[in-house]
Amino acid sequence: MKLFWAFARQHFHATALYRVDFWLRVASTPILMYGTRWVWITLYTQRPGAFGVSLQQMVTYAVLSMAIENLFYTGPQYYMAQQARSGAIDADLLKPLDFHFHMLARSTGEMLFRIIVIALPAMLVGYFLFDLQLPATLQTGFLFVVAILLGYLVNFHLEFLLGSVALVTLEIHSIDWAFHATARFFSGQFVPLWLFPGVLGLLANILPFRSTFSTPLSIYTGVVTGGAVTEAIGFQMLWLILLFIISRWLWERVQARIVLQGG
């Protein structure tokens, strides 16, 4: 565990050094918050209290979703693909930390950096400028954080699986495209899942993607309360366990097949 945090810390610092773009993205987030807030205000004038969700809850959902936008996609698959292509992955395999946990440490360092540098300032901006409400109770706030962390872990494993596939195919961009497009649609990041009709709604509720945005945001805004919260968090855990097992299984197989390129 100590080793894990050493790797996480190392990547945290590496990220902090090189990411000027990220600071700029902080500046562009308020514009998106402003935009989505108006979209929902406009929609709600036509149908106030749609689906039993108040405008205030909906605006909080949308603005908060912009604030946490960058938390989840830490991109271990790019690192894995790049290391495989350059042949440098042999050095990663020699490290004193299991590769899967090494990737998790890297991503965690990255995510913590993004929380501190992007999400927290963006939430403050949302609070002061765009009607981002505080969670109803301290307990709700705590459950939100738990759901965010689980969402992050679920998403990390999806990305790790992509990366494992990329180690064999040596091609990441097109599968990554498909992944991001699907996640964008089914995560509830832009349009909350309770608006999804029929089969789409059913699909969104079964797939793991809702763990990232929909679950934490629904808990935070109080759209999901009481026993449903436990259920939603249980759903995240179930997917996490499943994806963890698949990741270990696939990694064992991929590791044996890694072809070192270059020289």
Partner 1 sequence: MHVIQLYFRLIQISLLSRMQYRANFIAGILGLIVWNVINLGLIGIMVTQFTSLKDWTLWELVFLYCLWILGHSLYSLFFSHTRQLENYLIEGTFDQFLLRPASPLIQLLGRELEYIEIADMFIGLTGISLAYAQLGLHWDVWKWSFFIIAIISGTIIVLAINLLIACSAFWTGRSRGTFIIVSPFYSLVHQYPVDIFGNAFRIIVSSLLPVAFMNYYPALVLLDKVDHASSGWWLSYMSPVVALILLGIVSGVWRLALRQYTSSGS
Residues that bind partner 1 (CB under 8 A): 20-21, 24-25, 27-29, 31-32, 34-35, 38-39, 42-44, 46-47, 50-51, 171, 173-174, 177-178, 181, 184-185, 190-191, 195-197, 200
Smallest distance, Å, CB 245 to partner 1?
29
Of the pair 218, 247, the CB lying nearest partner 1 is at 218
Smallest distance, Å, CB 132 to partner 1?
17
Of the pair 128, 138, the CB lying nearest partner 1 is at 128
Of the pair 28, 261, the CB lying nearest partner 1 is at 28
Of the pair 160, 179, the CB lying nearest partner 1 is at 179
Of the pair 87, 201, the CB lying nearest partner 1 is at 201
Smallest distance, Å, CB 30 to partner 1?
9
CA dihedral sign, ordered 185, 191, 197, 198: positive
Smallest distance, Å, CB 21 to partner 1?
6
Smallest distance, Å, CB 44 to partner 1?
8
φ/ψ (deg, to 5) at 56: -60, -45
Q: Which of 226, 195, 196, 189 is nearest to 211 (CA)?
A: 189
